[in-house]
Structure 1
Amino acid sequence: MTCTLILTRHAKSAWDTNVPSDHARPLNKRGRRSAPAIAAWLRECGYVPDQVICSSAQRTRETCELMELGVPATFTERLYHANSDIMFKVLQQAEKPRVMLIGHNPGIAAFAHSIVASPPDHSRFDDYPTGATLVVEFAIGSWKELHWSSGKVVDFAVPRELLGE
């Protein structure tokens, strides 16, 4: 049996707003185009998750909502600027075999590097830009069996490539 992780950094956020906090920062126009593009790619490739676990920040919530994946989503404060260890613990508590985590850098990039046996051959993997999405398979029966550096990369995409920008 395998478990699949779809690891997505939130889409591009707006910096020119008067929101009261970083947590409340929304997506910008490009971000609102990117989230549906990533979702379309996931559907076309057959990578639709069974469960979504998402940071509670506005920009991650918007990313999740604009994807319209039609699966249950949980919004948690634990993923707001979470480090690799916290992401690992959150994933170990997942209930479905195909899980999407939506989070933030720098934690999500560090987590992506730490969870795979070898990185994808992609020039943007190291900096994990907004909207970047990694699909990784693990030869485990449940997320409780998860180990570092054990994932096999299936695919990796960034919105700019999908949108032809």
Structure 2
Amino acid sequence: MKHLLLIRHAKSSWSNSNLGDFDRDLNDRGRRDAPVMAQRLTEHHIQPDALVSSTALRAMQTAIFFARTFHKTEQDIMRMPELYHAPPPVFYKVISELPSSVNTAAVFAHNPGITAFVNELTATRIDDMPTCAVFGVKVHADTWADFAEAEKTFWFFDYPKLLG
């Protein structure tokens, strides 16, 4: 059994209109929410073996907050440029290439692709992945190479405003 955590980046800043979308960083709320959401995972004894992120600044910053909570370094984050505004087929490809030694993977990405992807995985449907939301899936497979065809069951869904 494998476990997959799909995480939309935390709230980003729109304060600098000179920055391109790729280079937008987190705003104050995003910098507050990311460590809180990572801590919620640890409270439920969830510890990712691998952190995989889009290389867009806001996704990487979110992944770094999670990495710190899980006692990992920024260098431990697998950087996947193809996850920037990725459609579902890209998620399948990236996940299927994870090492079999990884039991729990956390993937940081963007809307609308991440919402479309989570809605393909199980019978549970999400209208829109809020910023810093975590969608957990249990993958009934021994290797990530079998991810696409494996049975997947909904595990949990959490986001910053769920508990206020």
TM-score (normalised: structure 1): 0.90
Aligned residues: 157
Letter in 2 for 1:99: A
**Is it true that 1:119 corresponds to 2:120 in the alignment?**
no
Distance 1:60 1:19 in 2: 19
Taking only the aligned residue pairs, the percentage that are identical comes to: 32
**Is it true that 1:105 corresponds to 2:111 in the alignment?**
yes
Distance 1:156 1:102 in 2: 15
- Indicate conservation of the 8 Å contact 1:136/1:155, yes or no: yes
Structure 1 portions without partners, runs of 5+:
none
**1:52-131 equivalences in 2 (<5 Å):** 52-67=51-66, 68=68, 69-71=70-72, 72-95=76-99, 96-116=102-122, 118-119=123-124, 125-131=126-132
> Cα–Cα, structure 1 residues 149 and 13, in superposed 2: closer, same or farther, change >3 Å?
farther
Deviation at 1:75, TM superposition (A): 1.4
Deviation at 1:64, TM superposition (A): 0.9
CA RMSD of aligned residues (A): 1.5
Deviation at 1:161, TM superposition (A): 2.1
- Indicate conservation of the 8 Å contact 1:115/1:149, yes or no: no
Structure 2 portions without partners, runs of 5+:
none
Distance 1:66 1:20 in 2: 22
Distance 1:137 1:30 in 2: 29
Please name the residue that 2:50 is paired with. 51
Letter in 1 for 2:108: I
> Cα–Cα, structure 1 residues 9 and 137, in superposed 2: closer, same or farther, change >3 Å?
same
Deviating above 4 A after TM superposition, structure 1's stretches of 4 or more consecutive aligned residues are none
Letter in 1 for 2:152: G
> Cα–Cα, structure 1 residues 91 and 131, in superposed 2: closer, same or farther, change >3 Å?
same
- Indicate conservation of the 8 Å contact 1:115/1:147, yes or no: no
Please name the residue that 1:36 is paired with. 35
What per-residue deviation string (whole Å, max 9, x for no partner) do you get for residues 59-112 of structure 1?
001101122123421112111111100011000011112100000000000000
